[in-house]
Amino acid sequence: MVRGVSAEPRKATVAFVLIVILLDTLGIGLVLPVLPRIIEGFLEGNLQRASHTYGLFLALYAVMQFVFAPIVGGLSDRFGRRTVILTSLAGAACDYVLLAFAPTLGWLFVGRILAGMTGASFAAATAYIADVTPPEKRAASFGLVGAAFGVGFVLGPGLGGLLGGVSLRAPFLAAAVLNLVNFLYGVFVLPESLSRENRRPFAWRRANPLGAIKNLGRSPIVRGLTATIVCSYLAQQLLRSTWALYTEARFGWSPARVGLSLVCVGVAAAIVQGFLLRKLMPRIGERRAMLLGLVASVLGYAAIGLANRSWLLYVLVFPFALEGLIEPSTKALLTREVGATEQGELQGSLGSLLSMTSIVGPIVGTALFARFAPAESSPHVPGAVFLAGSLLNVIGLLLAMRLFARRPSPPP
Protein backbone atom coordinates (compact mmCIF):
# COMPACT_ATOMS: atom_id res chain seq x y z
CA MET A 1 0.00 0.00 0.00
CA VAL A 2 1.23 3.53 -0.71
CA ARG A 3 2.34 5.11 2.54
CA GLY A 4 0.96 8.47 3.58
CA VAL A 5 -1.78 8.57 0.94
CA SER A 6 -5.23 9.63 2.10
CA ALA A 7 -8.35 7.62 1.41
CA GLU A 8 -9.69 9.89 -1.32
CA PRO A 9 -6.52 9.87 -3.50
CA ARG A 10 -6.38 6.10 -3.02
CA LYS A 11 -9.92 5.79 -4.38
CA ALA A 12 -8.94 7.97 -7.32
CA THR A 13 -5.89 5.84 -8.21
CA VAL A 14 -7.98 2.65 -8.09
CA ALA A 15 -10.47 4.30 -10.45
CA PHE A 16 -7.63 5.27 -12.80
CA VAL A 17 -6.26 1.76 -13.15
CA LEU A 18 -9.77 0.26 -13.48
CA ILE A 19 -10.40 2.50 -16.49
CA VAL A 20 -7.08 1.37 -17.97
CA ILE A 21 -8.13 -2.27 -17.52
CA LEU A 22 -11.62 -1.56 -18.88
CA LEU A 23 -10.35 0.00 -22.11
CA ASP A 24 -7.76 -2.76 -22.55
CA THR A 25 -10.41 -5.46 -22.09
CA LEU A 26 -12.75 -3.66 -24.43
CA GLY A 27 -10.07 -3.92 -27.12
CA ILE A 28 -9.65 -7.66 -26.50
CA GLY A 29 -13.41 -8.24 -26.53
CA LEU A 30 -13.82 -6.48 -29.86
CA VAL A 31 -11.94 -9.19 -31.76
CA LEU A 32 -13.35 -12.31 -30.05
CA PRO A 33 -16.41 -12.78 -32.29
CA VAL A 34 -14.43 -12.57 -35.55
CA LEU A 35 -11.23 -14.51 -34.87
CA PRO A 36 -12.63 -17.99 -35.71
CA ARG A 37 -14.12 -16.69 -38.98
CA ILE A 38 -10.83 -15.06 -40.02
CA ILE A 39 -8.92 -18.28 -39.37
CA GLU A 40 -11.54 -20.34 -41.25
CA GLY A 41 -11.19 -17.91 -44.16
CA PHE A 42 -7.46 -18.60 -44.39
CA LEU A 43 -8.16 -22.36 -44.24
CA GLU A 44 -10.92 -22.43 -46.86
CA GLY A 45 -13.70 -23.03 -44.34
CA ASN A 46 -12.36 -26.33 -42.96
CA LEU A 47 -13.92 -26.40 -39.45
CA GLN A 48 -11.75 -29.20 -38.06
CA ARG A 49 -8.47 -27.63 -39.22
CA ALA A 50 -9.71 -24.24 -38.06
CA SER A 51 -10.48 -25.67 -34.59
CA HIS A 52 -6.94 -26.97 -34.13
CA THR A 53 -5.39 -23.82 -35.60
CA TYR A 54 -7.52 -21.62 -33.37
CA GLY A 55 -6.33 -23.60 -30.35
CA LEU A 56 -2.70 -23.15 -31.38
CA PHE A 57 -3.38 -19.47 -32.04
CA LEU A 58 -4.64 -18.98 -28.49
CA ALA A 59 -1.88 -21.13 -27.01
CA LEU A 60 0.83 -19.04 -28.68
CA TYR A 61 -0.55 -15.93 -27.00
CA ALA A 62 -0.42 -17.79 -23.70
CA VAL A 63 3.18 -18.91 -24.26
CA MET A 64 4.23 -15.29 -24.63
CA GLN A 65 2.36 -14.32 -21.47
CA PHE A 66 3.89 -17.27 -19.62
CA VAL A 67 7.37 -15.98 -20.46
CA PHE A 68 6.74 -12.26 -20.06
CA ALA A 69 4.29 -11.98 -17.12
CA PRO A 70 6.95 -12.56 -14.42
CA ILE A 71 9.38 -10.32 -16.30
CA VAL A 72 6.79 -7.53 -16.46
CA GLY A 73 5.89 -8.06 -12.81
CA GLY A 74 9.55 -7.92 -11.78
CA LEU A 75 10.19 -4.83 -13.90
CA SER A 76 7.21 -3.12 -12.27
CA ASP A 77 8.70 -3.91 -8.83
CA ARG A 78 11.91 -2.20 -10.01
CA PHE A 79 10.75 0.74 -12.16
CA GLY A 80 7.16 1.24 -11.00
CA ARG A 81 3.79 0.20 -12.39
CA ARG A 82 3.09 3.29 -14.51
CA THR A 83 6.09 2.96 -16.84
CA VAL A 84 5.40 -0.73 -17.52
CA ILE A 85 1.67 -0.22 -18.14
CA LEU A 86 2.20 2.66 -20.58
CA THR A 87 4.88 0.82 -22.56
CA SER A 88 2.61 -2.20 -22.95
CA LEU A 89 -0.35 -0.10 -24.08
CA ALA A 90 1.70 1.60 -26.80
CA GLY A 91 2.90 -1.81 -28.02
CA ALA A 92 -0.65 -3.19 -28.04
CA ALA A 93 -1.91 -0.31 -30.21
CA CYS A 94 0.80 -1.03 -32.80
CA ASP A 95 0.08 -4.75 -32.67
CA TYR A 96 -3.65 -4.37 -33.41
CA VAL A 97 -2.76 -2.32 -36.50
CA LEU A 98 -0.54 -5.19 -37.65
CA LEU A 99 -3.34 -7.71 -37.07
CA ALA A 100 -5.83 -5.54 -38.97
CA PHE A 101 -3.71 -5.71 -42.12
CA ALA A 102 -2.22 -9.22 -41.75
CA PRO A 103 -2.27 -10.73 -45.26
CA THR A 104 -1.63 -14.35 -44.23
CA LEU A 105 -2.18 -16.73 -41.34
CA GLY A 106 1.54 -16.46 -40.56
CA TRP A 107 1.26 -12.72 -39.99
CA LEU A 108 -1.69 -13.34 -37.65
CA PHE A 109 0.58 -15.57 -35.58
CA VAL A 110 3.28 -12.88 -35.51
CA GLY A 111 0.68 -10.41 -34.28
CA ARG A 112 -0.44 -12.86 -31.62
CA ILE A 113 3.14 -13.16 -30.35
CA LEU A 114 3.34 -9.39 -29.91
CA ALA A 115 -0.12 -9.34 -28.30
CA GLY A 116 1.01 -11.88 -25.72
CA MET A 117 4.04 -9.78 -24.84
CA THR A 118 2.05 -6.56 -24.41
CA GLY A 119 -0.84 -8.31 -22.65
CA ALA A 120 1.51 -9.35 -19.83
CA SER A 121 1.00 -5.83 -18.42
CA PHE A 122 -1.97 -7.18 -16.44
CA ALA A 123 0.56 -8.28 -13.78
CA ALA A 124 1.58 -4.65 -13.28
CA ALA A 125 -2.05 -3.48 -13.26
CA THR A 126 -3.13 -5.94 -10.56
CA ALA A 127 0.02 -5.15 -8.53
CA TYR A 128 -1.06 -1.50 -8.79
CA ILE A 129 -4.35 -2.43 -7.11
CA ALA A 130 -2.49 -4.24 -4.32
CA ASP A 131 -0.24 -1.19 -3.83
CA VAL A 132 -3.06 1.23 -3.18
CA THR A 133 -5.55 -1.00 -1.32
CA PRO A 134 -5.34 -2.20 2.31
CA PRO A 135 -5.31 -6.02 2.72
CA GLU A 136 -8.85 -6.26 4.12
CA LYS A 137 -10.28 -4.50 1.04
CA ARG A 138 -8.26 -6.22 -1.68
CA ALA A 139 -10.86 -8.89 -2.49
CA ALA A 140 -13.42 -6.15 -3.21
CA SER A 141 -10.87 -4.22 -5.28
CA PHE A 142 -9.91 -7.32 -7.25
CA GLY A 143 -13.64 -7.85 -7.72
CA LEU A 144 -13.82 -4.40 -9.30
CA VAL A 145 -11.04 -5.49 -11.65
CA GLY A 146 -13.26 -8.42 -12.63
CA ALA A 147 -16.18 -6.04 -13.05
CA ALA A 148 -14.08 -3.86 -15.34
CA PHE A 149 -13.39 -6.98 -17.38
CA GLY A 150 -17.10 -7.75 -17.36
CA VAL A 151 -18.05 -4.30 -18.62
CA GLY A 152 -15.33 -4.56 -21.28
CA PHE A 153 -16.82 -7.84 -22.44
CA VAL A 154 -20.31 -6.34 -22.40
CA LEU A 155 -19.34 -3.59 -24.80
CA GLY A 156 -16.45 -5.21 -26.68
CA PRO A 157 -17.97 -8.39 -28.15
CA GLY A 158 -21.25 -6.66 -28.95
CA LEU A 159 -19.46 -3.89 -30.83
CA GLY A 160 -17.06 -6.42 -32.33
CA GLY A 161 -19.95 -8.49 -33.66
CA LEU A 162 -21.50 -5.39 -35.26
CA LEU A 163 -18.21 -4.23 -36.78
CA GLY A 164 -17.50 -7.79 -37.92
CA GLY A 165 -20.69 -7.65 -39.97
CA VAL A 166 -19.15 -4.75 -41.90
CA SER A 167 -15.61 -6.14 -42.13
CA LEU A 168 -13.87 -8.93 -40.25
CA ARG A 169 -10.81 -6.65 -39.87
CA ALA A 170 -12.66 -3.59 -38.54
CA PRO A 171 -12.63 -4.75 -34.88
CA PHE A 172 -8.81 -4.82 -34.92
CA LEU A 173 -8.64 -1.18 -36.00
CA ALA A 174 -11.14 -0.24 -33.32
CA ALA A 175 -9.01 -2.08 -30.73
CA ALA A 176 -5.92 -0.17 -31.90
CA VAL A 177 -7.71 3.14 -31.39
CA LEU A 178 -8.86 2.11 -27.90
CA ASN A 179 -5.34 1.15 -26.84
CA LEU A 180 -4.04 4.47 -28.15
CA VAL A 181 -6.70 6.31 -26.15
CA ASN A 182 -5.77 4.16 -23.16
CA PHE A 183 -2.10 5.09 -23.55
CA LEU A 184 -2.86 8.81 -23.76
CA TYR A 185 -5.13 8.55 -20.74
CA GLY A 186 -2.34 6.95 -18.75
CA VAL A 187 0.26 9.52 -19.85
CA PHE A 188 -1.79 12.44 -18.59
CA VAL A 189 -3.77 10.97 -15.68
CA LEU A 190 -2.34 7.75 -14.22
CA PRO A 191 -0.04 8.38 -11.20
CA GLU A 192 2.67 6.03 -9.96
CA SER A 193 1.57 3.68 -7.16
CA LEU A 194 4.82 2.10 -5.97
CA SER A 195 6.85 4.28 -3.60
CA ARG A 196 10.63 4.25 -4.07
CA GLU A 197 11.27 2.67 -0.68
CA ASN A 198 9.17 -0.35 -1.74
CA ARG A 199 11.07 -0.96 -4.98
CA ARG A 200 13.69 -3.66 -5.34
CA PRO A 201 16.30 -4.69 -7.92
CA PHE A 202 15.23 -6.76 -10.90
CA ALA A 203 16.58 -10.34 -10.81
CA TRP A 204 16.37 -12.83 -13.67
CA ARG A 205 16.32 -15.77 -11.25
CA ARG A 206 12.96 -14.50 -9.93
CA ALA A 207 11.67 -13.21 -13.27
CA ASN A 208 12.07 -16.37 -15.33
CA PRO A 209 8.71 -18.17 -15.46
CA LEU A 210 9.87 -21.41 -13.84
CA GLY A 211 11.54 -19.54 -10.99
CA ALA A 212 8.46 -17.37 -10.55
CA ILE A 213 6.18 -20.39 -10.29
CA LYS A 214 8.61 -22.07 -7.89
CA ASN A 215 8.27 -19.03 -5.62
CA LEU A 216 4.56 -19.81 -5.24
CA GLY A 217 5.53 -22.93 -3.27
CA ARG A 218 6.99 -20.89 -0.44
CA SER A 219 4.25 -21.81 2.09
CA PRO A 220 1.48 -24.42 2.44
CA ILE A 221 -1.33 -21.87 2.12
CA VAL A 222 0.21 -20.42 -1.06
CA ARG A 223 0.71 -23.89 -2.54
CA GLY A 224 -2.85 -24.94 -1.72
CA LEU A 225 -4.48 -21.79 -3.07
CA THR A 226 -2.31 -21.99 -6.17
CA ALA A 227 -3.45 -25.55 -6.92
CA THR A 228 -7.09 -24.52 -6.59
CA ILE A 229 -6.79 -21.47 -8.82
CA VAL A 230 -4.99 -23.55 -11.47
CA CYS A 231 -8.04 -25.83 -11.69
CA SER A 232 -10.33 -22.80 -12.04
CA TYR A 233 -8.09 -21.13 -14.63
CA LEU A 234 -7.85 -24.31 -16.70
CA ALA A 235 -11.64 -24.79 -16.73
CA GLN A 236 -12.08 -21.17 -17.86
CA GLN A 237 -9.64 -21.68 -20.71
CA LEU A 238 -11.52 -24.77 -21.89
CA LEU A 239 -14.69 -22.69 -22.11
CA ARG A 240 -13.15 -19.57 -23.66
CA SER A 241 -11.24 -21.45 -26.34
CA THR A 242 -14.28 -23.32 -27.62
CA TRP A 243 -17.29 -21.05 -26.96
CA ALA A 244 -17.40 -19.46 -30.42
CA LEU A 245 -16.67 -22.79 -32.14
CA TYR A 246 -19.23 -24.67 -30.04
CA THR A 247 -22.12 -22.22 -30.41
CA GLU A 248 -21.52 -21.84 -34.14
CA ALA A 249 -21.33 -25.60 -34.77
CA ARG A 250 -24.13 -26.76 -32.44
CA PHE A 251 -26.62 -23.90 -32.65
CA GLY A 252 -25.59 -22.12 -35.86
CA TRP A 253 -24.81 -18.82 -34.13
CA SER A 254 -23.46 -15.91 -36.18
CA PRO A 255 -20.59 -13.66 -34.96
CA ALA A 256 -23.22 -11.16 -33.81
CA ARG A 257 -25.02 -13.86 -31.79
CA VAL A 258 -21.72 -15.01 -30.27
CA GLY A 259 -21.05 -11.38 -29.38
CA LEU A 260 -24.48 -11.06 -27.76
CA SER A 261 -23.89 -14.13 -25.61
CA LEU A 262 -20.58 -12.67 -24.44
CA VAL A 263 -22.39 -9.43 -23.65
CA CYS A 264 -24.63 -11.41 -21.29
CA VAL A 265 -21.56 -13.01 -19.71
CA GLY A 266 -20.04 -9.57 -19.22
CA VAL A 267 -23.19 -8.15 -17.62
CA ALA A 268 -23.41 -11.06 -15.21
CA ALA A 269 -19.70 -10.85 -14.34
CA ALA A 270 -19.97 -7.10 -13.70
CA ILE A 271 -22.94 -7.63 -11.36
CA VAL A 272 -21.21 -10.40 -9.39
CA GLN A 273 -17.75 -8.85 -9.13
CA GLY A 274 -18.66 -5.19 -9.06
CA PHE A 275 -21.66 -5.36 -6.72
CA LEU A 276 -22.41 -8.77 -5.18
CA LEU A 277 -18.83 -9.49 -4.10
CA ARG A 278 -18.58 -6.22 -2.17
CA LYS A 279 -21.82 -7.05 -0.33
CA LEU A 280 -20.92 -10.67 0.38
CA MET A 281 -17.30 -10.26 1.46
CA PRO A 282 -17.89 -8.53 4.84
CA ARG A 283 -20.53 -11.14 5.69
CA ILE A 284 -19.00 -14.43 4.60
CA GLY A 285 -15.28 -13.68 4.19
CA GLU A 286 -12.82 -14.57 1.46
CA ARG A 287 -12.71 -18.31 2.14
CA ARG A 288 -16.45 -18.90 1.96
CA ALA A 289 -16.76 -16.65 -1.08
CA MET A 290 -14.12 -18.74 -2.81
CA LEU A 291 -15.92 -22.00 -1.95
CA LEU A 292 -19.27 -20.61 -3.13
CA GLY A 293 -17.68 -19.68 -6.46
CA LEU A 294 -16.25 -23.18 -6.87
CA VAL A 295 -19.60 -24.85 -6.17
CA ALA A 296 -21.31 -22.56 -8.69
CA SER A 297 -18.63 -23.47 -11.25
CA VAL A 298 -19.07 -27.21 -10.77
CA LEU A 299 -22.83 -26.93 -11.36
CA GLY A 300 -22.59 -24.25 -14.07
CA TYR A 301 -20.12 -26.03 -16.35
CA ALA A 302 -22.10 -29.28 -16.08
CA ALA A 303 -25.38 -27.53 -16.89
CA ILE A 304 -23.90 -25.77 -19.95
CA GLY A 305 -22.43 -29.05 -21.19
CA LEU A 306 -25.81 -30.79 -20.92
CA ALA A 307 -27.95 -27.97 -22.35
CA ASN A 308 -29.62 -28.96 -25.62
CA ARG A 309 -31.38 -25.66 -26.44
CA SER A 310 -29.55 -22.44 -27.24
CA TRP A 311 -31.82 -20.30 -25.04
CA LEU A 312 -30.73 -22.32 -22.01
CA LEU A 313 -27.23 -20.85 -22.36
CA TYR A 314 -28.64 -17.39 -21.69
CA VAL A 315 -30.57 -18.65 -18.65
CA LEU A 316 -27.47 -20.32 -17.21
CA VAL A 317 -25.18 -17.33 -17.65
CA PHE A 318 -26.30 -15.50 -14.52
CA PRO A 319 -26.03 -18.28 -11.88
CA PHE A 320 -22.82 -19.44 -13.58
CA ALA A 321 -21.36 -15.94 -13.12
CA LEU A 322 -20.87 -16.72 -9.40
CA GLU A 323 -17.66 -18.31 -10.68
CA GLY A 324 -16.40 -14.73 -10.57
CA LEU A 325 -16.07 -14.99 -6.77
CA ILE A 326 -13.12 -17.39 -7.07
CA GLU A 327 -10.30 -15.28 -8.47
CA PRO A 328 -10.64 -12.07 -6.41
CA SER A 329 -11.08 -14.03 -3.18
CA THR A 330 -8.07 -16.23 -3.91
CA LYS A 331 -5.87 -13.31 -4.94
CA ALA A 332 -6.81 -11.41 -1.81
CA LEU A 333 -5.80 -14.39 0.33
CA LEU A 334 -2.51 -14.71 -1.56
CA THR A 335 -1.57 -11.02 -1.27
CA ARG A 336 -1.68 -11.38 2.52
CA GLU A 337 1.13 -13.94 2.29
CA VAL A 338 3.74 -11.62 0.65
CA GLY A 339 5.23 -8.24 1.48
CA ALA A 340 4.81 -4.84 -0.17
CA THR A 341 8.01 -5.27 -2.22
CA GLU A 342 6.81 -8.57 -3.74
CA GLN A 343 3.33 -7.78 -5.04
CA GLY A 344 4.50 -7.41 -8.64
CA GLU A 345 6.37 -10.71 -8.47
CA LEU A 346 3.29 -12.43 -7.01
CA GLN A 347 1.02 -11.10 -9.75
CA GLY A 348 3.60 -12.02 -12.38
CA SER A 349 3.79 -15.56 -11.00
CA LEU A 350 0.01 -15.84 -11.07
CA GLY A 351 0.10 -14.45 -14.60
CA SER A 352 2.51 -17.22 -15.59
CA LEU A 353 0.18 -19.81 -14.09
CA LEU A 354 -2.74 -18.36 -16.00
CA SER A 355 -0.61 -18.46 -19.13
CA MET A 356 0.30 -22.11 -18.56
CA THR A 357 -3.39 -22.97 -18.39
CA SER A 358 -3.92 -20.79 -21.45
CA ILE A 359 -1.37 -22.93 -23.30
CA VAL A 360 -2.82 -26.26 -22.21
CA GLY A 361 -6.50 -25.25 -22.10
CA PRO A 362 -7.02 -24.20 -25.73
CA ILE A 363 -5.13 -27.24 -27.04
CA VAL A 364 -7.07 -29.65 -24.82
CA GLY A 365 -10.38 -27.82 -25.28
CA THR A 366 -10.25 -27.65 -29.07
CA ALA A 367 -9.03 -31.27 -29.21
CA LEU A 368 -12.02 -32.36 -27.10
CA PHE A 369 -14.29 -30.30 -29.34
CA ALA A 370 -12.84 -31.78 -32.53
CA ARG A 371 -13.10 -35.33 -31.10
CA PHE A 372 -16.59 -35.26 -29.58
CA ALA A 373 -18.56 -32.33 -31.05
CA PRO A 374 -18.88 -33.10 -34.80
CA ALA A 375 -22.09 -34.93 -35.72
CA GLU A 376 -20.12 -37.90 -37.07
CA SER A 377 -18.22 -38.41 -33.80
CA SER A 378 -18.66 -41.62 -31.83
CA PRO A 379 -19.55 -41.07 -29.08
CA HIS A 380 -21.17 -37.75 -29.95
CA VAL A 381 -20.91 -35.55 -26.83
CA PRO A 382 -21.17 -31.90 -27.95
CA GLY A 383 -20.70 -30.55 -24.43
CA ALA A 384 -17.74 -32.77 -23.47
CA VAL A 385 -15.40 -29.80 -23.00
CA PHE A 386 -17.73 -28.18 -20.46
CA LEU A 387 -18.19 -31.43 -18.55
CA ALA A 388 -14.39 -31.58 -18.31
CA GLY A 389 -14.47 -28.04 -16.89
CA SER A 390 -16.94 -29.16 -14.23
CA LEU A 391 -14.65 -32.02 -13.23
CA LEU A 392 -11.69 -29.64 -12.88
CA ASN A 393 -13.68 -27.45 -10.52
CA VAL A 394 -14.65 -30.49 -8.45
CA ILE A 395 -10.92 -31.12 -7.97
CA GLY A 396 -10.33 -27.46 -7.08
CA LEU A 397 -13.20 -27.51 -4.57
CA LEU A 398 -11.87 -30.62 -2.84
CA LEU A 399 -8.36 -29.14 -2.64
CA ALA A 400 -9.69 -25.90 -1.12
CA MET A 401 -11.83 -27.71 1.44
CA ARG A 402 -8.86 -29.85 2.46
CA LEU A 403 -6.62 -26.78 2.81
CA PHE A 404 -9.10 -24.79 4.88
CA ALA A 405 -9.80 -27.76 7.14
CA ARG A 406 -6.08 -27.98 7.94
CA ARG A 407 -5.54 -24.20 8.20
CA PRO A 408 -8.26 -22.54 10.30
CA SER A 409 -9.04 -18.91 9.52
CA PRO A 410 -6.80 -16.45 11.37
CA PRO A 411 -8.48 -14.17 13.90
CA PRO A 412 -9.77 -10.85 12.44
d(CA 412, CA 406): 18
State the alpha helices, DSSP H only, in 254-383.
255-271, 277-306, 310-320, 326-335, 343-372
**pLDDT of res. 231:** 92
pLDDT score of 410 more than 60: no
CATH code linked to domain 7-406: 1.20.1250.20
Measured in degrees and rounded to the nearest 5, phi and psi for residue 338 equal -130, 160
**pLDDT of res. 239:** 87
Mean pLDDT for 66-95 is 80
> Could you report the per-residue pLDDT of 144-182, keeping only the tens digit for each?
777 777 677 667 777 887 887 788 888 888 888 888 888
> Could you report the per-residue pLDDT of 200-225, keeping only the tens digit for each?
777 666 666 666 666 666 667 777 88
Q: Are 328 and 146 in contact (CB under 8 A)?
A: yes
d(CA 299, CA 319): 9
pLDDT score of 24 more than 90: no
pTM of the model: 0.65
> Could you report the per-residue pLDDT of 235-252, keeping only the tens digit for each?
988 888 888 888 887 888
Contacts of 324 (CB under 8 A, 6+ apart): 143, 146, 150, 268, 269, 272, 273, 277, 293
pLDDT score of 5 more than 50: no
- With 0-12 / 13-18 / 19 or more C-beta atoms within 10 angstroms meaning exposed / middle / buried, residue 376 is exposed
d(CA 288, CA 136): 15
**pLDDT of res. 396:** 92
Q: C-alpha angle 5/278/15, rounded to 5°?
A: 40
pLDDT band at 77 (very low <50, low <70, confident <90, very high): confident
> Could you report the per-residue pLDDT of 384-404, keeping only the tens digit for each?
899 999 999 999 999 989 888
Q: Which residue has the higher pLDDT, 234 or 156?
A: 234
pLDDT score of 40 more than 80: no
Mean pLDDT for 28-45 is 75
CB atoms within 10 A of CB 280: 21
**pLDDT of res. 219:** 65
CB atoms within 10 A of CB 165: 15
pLDDT band at 73 (very low <50, low <70, confident <90, very high): confident
Q: How much helix, strand and coil, in percent to the nearest 5, is found in the chain? A: 85, 0, 15
Q: Are 80 and 152 in contact (CB under 8 A)?
A: no
pLDDT score of 411 more than 50: no
pLDDT band at 292 (very low <50, low <70, confident <90, very high): very high
Mean pLDDT for 126-140 is 76
